[in-house]
Amino acid sequence: MADLPRLTPRMLRTLERAREIANENGQQVVGTEHVILALVDDSNGIAGQAMRSLGIADAVRATVRSIIQSEGYKAPPSRPAGEAK
């Protein structure tokens, strides 16, 4: 994998919040759905501001929460992609 740029403190906080959201939902792996919820919740971040400005933040939050709490939801795999079994 190519060298990735360093993460900003805000991004590190967002990823930590995503981990908390996953844990709150009984999931052991953080997926994009958890990151989306963390971005919506970040009142100072550009993504959250954009969603609020467009009037979609509440709908995004409700839709993602509804999906991850549904019976048909498949949590992200327990192993990172590409990791040997």
| Token reading at 20 | 């908390």
Query: Sign of the CA dihedral 34, 20, 9, 12?
Result: negative
Looking at residue 58, the DSSP 8-state letter turns out to be: H
pLDDT of residue 14: 96
12-62 pLDDT tens trace: 999 999 999 999 988 888 999 999 999 999 989 999 999 999 999 999 999
| Token reading at 38 | 């963390």
Report how far residue 4's alpha carbon sits from residue 78's, in angstroms, rounded to the nearest whole number: 23
| Residue whose structure tokens are 């990151």 | 35
Is the overall model pTM greater than 0.85, yes or no? no
What dihedral angle (degrees, nearest 10) is formed by the CA atoms of 80, 74, 10, 44?
170
Query: At residue 68, what is the residue type?
Result: I
Assign 4 a pLDDT band (cuts: 50, 70, 90).
confident
Residue 2 predicted with pLDDT over 80: no
